[in-house]
Structure formats: C-alpha cells, structure tokens
Chains A and B, each alone.
Chain A
Amino acid sequence: MRLMPSAIAACTRFSLAAMLQYRGEIILWAVWGVIYPAVAMAMWGAALHGAPQEGGIKGFGQRDFAAYFLLTMVVGHLCTAWDIYEMGYLVRSGLLSPKLLRPILPLWTSAADNAAYKILTLAILMPIWLGVAWFVRPVFTTGWAHLLLGVPALLLAATLSFLWGYVVSLVAFWTTRTDAVAESWFGASLMLGGRMAPLALLPLPLQWAAAALPFKWIIWFPCELLMGRLSVAQAWAGLAWQAAWTVLGLVVFRLFWSAALKRYSAVGA
C-alpha cells in the first residue's frame, strides 16, 4: 500500500513519455473537445433570435451561453475518459492480460494514462481557451466562494467521469463489444450531462432522467458553479451528490471487478 503513490506516479511518467511520441494525434483528439462546445455556442446564439420571449432563453443570453460553453470546453476536457471505448478491444484482443500481471490494478494504470493525457494537452488547449474567451466575450458572476468550491467540484467531476466510465466498461467482459454501450454513454453525457445545453433548457422528462444519472454532476454542475449561477448552499449540495456518486461507483466497481475477471478468458490471446 505504501508503494501505491510512487507506482502511480511512475505509471503517469511512463504514459507522459509515450504520449509525447504521438503528440500530433493526441492534440487532434483534444481539439475535438473544442469543436463541439463551439458549435453548441453558435447554435444557441442563433436559437436566441427565434426564441419566443425577447432577452434570453431561461435566463441565458448570448454572453451567458458563451460563458457556459466556454466552461464546458474546460470541464469537458478535464473529465475526458475513454476506457469505455477501449475495454472491449483490450478484452477481445487479450491485451488486458499483461496489464493484469502487474502488481497494481489496471484501473490505476488507466487513471495514470488519463492524467498524463490531460496534463500534456493542457499546454495546447490553454491558449485556445483564452483565445475563444477573448473572442466570444463571456460574462461571469463568479465569486471567491464559487472558485474555492469549484476546485473540489472539478476534481470530483473528473474522478466521477473516469470511475463510472470504467465501471460501465466492465460490461466488455460479458459482451466483448462495447460500441453500443459506449455510444449510448457518450450520447447521454451530451444530452443529459449539459454539454449540449444547460440543464434548465431540457424538457421536463429529460430533466428527470438527468436527475437520476451521474452525468449532470460531471459537466453541468461544475460549469454552473464556476459561472457563479449557484448559491453556496446549492454548491455544497452538489458536492455531496458528487461524493455520493463517487462512493457508489467505488462500491459497484468492487462488486463487479472480481466477477468480471472470472469471466475473462483473453479471447484473442
């Protein structure tokens, strides 16, 4: 147990070095995360002109949308997780086997990859974000309390996104294919997580669905918090929700991991 932190640090350094080799491709992946929010921003900007009432949609004007989607760029990037796309391949090809031989759970090496990717791409994304911010002139009503509470909210959001993505990816041990699951997961995070629209804009049935799922605590909550649209009490409540979903994720992972391993037969190895 004492060795864990240094093992994870070593894994992260290793992934950093590996990713640095493929920096071109990595950067292209990261840029996708800029395109989607930018398109959503333009779309809602256009939608404002056709809105029934003058002066905004559910309290969002042009520059509020700019702020919100600028934040989804940042938060979306910090909450990137791709295990759900990868696990099926790892199980099918048997590439998971060498990872299982290590004295550390594959979950941790994935987490190290994940961290390395985010650190590396930050260098290119930071200037892009600043450029977009300068261009679209967002308005924030963020106070110090929002910023302070925003830090744990971001950390929990990134954890939540990675952890639940990993838990759901375990389906691969039973199905060996995760394409459909991954696509549904991704679609739900777009629509119900707040990437496509702030949750207040969703029709009621979709808001109920969003309330029952973890996605809104990954994107929507940190974004609205950092925009300064939530009260301190709402922020604490949100952090509690995030913590609860994290604990639940850990429990589900513990329950299913050993069962999943029993199913593992290294199909293609």
Chain B
Amino acid sequence: MFRHLRLIWLFARLGIQNNAAYRFDFFMRLVVSFVQMAGELVGLWIIFSNTRSLAGWNAYQVLVLLGVFRFMTGVIGLVIAPNMRLIMEDVRNGTLDFVLTKPVNSQFYASFRQIVIWRLIDLALGVGLATFGGLHLAAQMSVGRVLLFLLMLGLGATVIYSFWLILATAAFWFTRIDNMEMVFWNVFEAGRYPVDIYRPWVRWALTYLVPLAFLITFPAGALAGKTGAGALLAAMLVAPVTLLGASLFWRYGLRHYSGASA
C-alpha cells in the first residue's frame, strides 16, 4: 500500500516535470478553464433568472452540482482518461509488454503511470464552486452531510474509474476503440444538470449504463441534501461491485493479450 502511494507520488512528480517544460501551455489551460467556468456561471444566471428551481434543485444546489461536474472532469482528465488512452495504444502497438513485465501489479501501474498535472486546475475550481454553493446552504449544513459528500465523491470516482477500465480492457478484443472516448464525452455533457430533469428511461440509462448519476448527481445531492439513503446504499453496492468486475475483466483480458506486433 505504502509502496503504491510512493509510486503515485513519483508519477505525479514526473507529470510536473513534463508539464514544467510548457509553461505557456499551462497558462493557456488556466485561461481556458476559467473561461469554461465563467460560461457555466453565466448559464446558471440565465436559468435562474427565469425559474426558481430545476427539478427541485435551487440555484446554490445546482452550483454545487456544477462544482462536482468540474471536479469529476478534472479527475477523469488527471489520471483516468490519459492512462486508459495509453492502455488502448499499448494494446494496439503491442507495447503493453513493458507494463506487464514491471514488478508491480499490472492494473495499478497501467492505471496510474501518467498523471496530467495541469488538470488539478479543474479539481481546484470544482472544489471552489462546490464550497461556495455549500456555504450558501449553510443553514442546513452539517458535518454528517460533508462526510457523506466526501464518501459519495470517492464512490463516484471509483465507479467512473471502473467504467473506463472496462472500456479500455475491451481494446483487447476490438483493438481500435478510441472513438468510444468521444461517445463518452458526448454523453458526459448530459451530466451538467441533475439527472432528475430527464425522463425516467434516460435517467435510468444515465445511472446504470453510463454512471453519470453516481459520478455527479449523487455526490452533489449529498452536499445539497438531495441524496437519500437509497442512493447511498446503491453507491455502496455498485462501486465495489464494478471495481471488482472491472478488475476481473482486466485479468481476463490480459489472458487474451498476445503482444500482437511486439
């Protein structure tokens, strides 16, 4: 465990070194993130100058949700997406051999070897937004709620990691699935708002097919006082099960890997 944490720290340091070479690029990313956030806030302004609530969520509750949306965008961009992209590339090129021969758990190494450090901007902005929204809900805030929020965030991140690992593992059979990523980001767009705004079957799909509800709506709802015991139970069940499933699927996929062109 300790060894794994040290390795992650090492990968993060490597990420910083890689990024430090492109300082203007970092500045540009900062500007882009701020522009995106400004756009989201303007959107919020437009919505709530016309209505009092969005499927029962008030302005500050949606603000918390926007924060979680940005935070999760950051989490996916920081470690999940870049590593899964690498896995797909490695499988195609046959260079996954270099991962498998490392003296460490292959799933761990394949999942954390690249860390795109500038994505921490989105994490910071997301935390800022959620905190700001949360402070305005202070009247009903409690330590329990914040803890539930953090727990749900962790469970959400676990679910989305497992989801991506399953997608990446599918590369063992289909080789070329980089388009899957685009499909994902297309659907991800729907997570900008609470899933409660959609029709029941869309809501179902966004919960169990592409788990945006676990990722964004449930954690945000935990802080905003919208997530009940049902969602907590579901997340407690779904997160470990998908993680275990993804892990088993990864091992099963590895047995199918023949180092095609290596």
A interface residue numbers (CB < 8 A to B): 24-25, 28-29, 31-32, 35-36, 39, 42-43, 45-52, 57-58, 177, 179-180, 183-184, 187, 190-191, 196-197, 201-203, 206
Q: Knowing A36-B189, A50-B52, A180-B32 are in contact, say whether A203-B45 is a contact too (CB < 8 A).
A: yes
Interface status of B28 (Cβ within 8 A of chain A) = yes
- Tell me the dominant secondary structure on chain A's binding face: helix
Q: Please, how many angstroms separate the alpha-carbon atoms of A177 and B45 in the complex?
A: 30
B39 CB contacts on chain A under 8 angstroms: 187, 190-191
What 6 pairs between A and B have smallest CB-CB spacing?
Answer: A50-B53, A46-B197, A187-B39, A47-B51, A180-B31, A50-B51
B56 CB contacts on chain A under 8 angstroms: 50
B186 CB contacts on chain A under 8 angstroms: 28, 31-32, 35
Chosen A-B contacts, 29 in total, with CB atoms closer than 8 Å, are: A28-B183, A28-B186, A29-B182, A35-B187, A43-B47, A43-B197, A46-B54, A46-B196, A46-B197, A49-B53, A50-B53, A52-B52, A57-B50, A57-B51, A177-B28, A180-B28, A180-B31, A180-B32, A183-B32, A187-B35, A187-B36, A190-B43, A191-B39, A191-B43, A197-B50, A201-B49, A201-B50, A202-B46, A206-B42
B202 CB contacts on chain A under 8 angstroms: 42
Interface status of B113 (Cβ within 8 A of chain A) = no
A52 CB contacts on chain B under 8 angstroms: 51-52
Q: Which residue of A lies closest to B198 (CB)?
A: A42
A8 to nearest B CB, angstroms? Answer: 30
B135 CB contacts on chain A under 8 angstroms: none
Extra inter-chain contacts (12) besides given A28-B183, A52-B51, CB under 8 Å: A24-B179, A25-B182, A28-B179, A43-B47, A49-B53, A50-B52, A50-B53, A51-B51, A179-B32, A180-B28, A196-B46, A201-B50
**Which residues of chain B (23-45) have a CB below 8 Å from chain A?**
24-25, 28-29, 31-32, 35-36, 38-39, 42-43, 45
B50 CB contacts on chain A under 8 angstroms: 47, 51, 57-58, 197, 201
Interface status of B124 (Cβ within 8 A of chain A) = no
Q: Which residue of A lies closest to B31 (CB)?
A: A180
Contact call A42/B54, Cβ cutoff below 8 A: no
B189 CB contacts on chain A under 8 angstroms: 32, 35-36, 39
B145 CB contacts on chain A under 8 angstroms: none
> Which of B35, B52, B55, B190 has the most A CB atoms < 10 Å from its CB?
B35
Q: Please, how many angstroms separate the alpha-carbon atoms of A203 and B53 in the complex?
A: 17
Q: Please, how many angstroms separate the alpha-carbon atoms of A256 and B46 in the complex?
A: 35
Contact call A46/B55, Cβ cutoff below 8 A: yes
Interface status of B192 (Cβ within 8 A of chain A) = yes
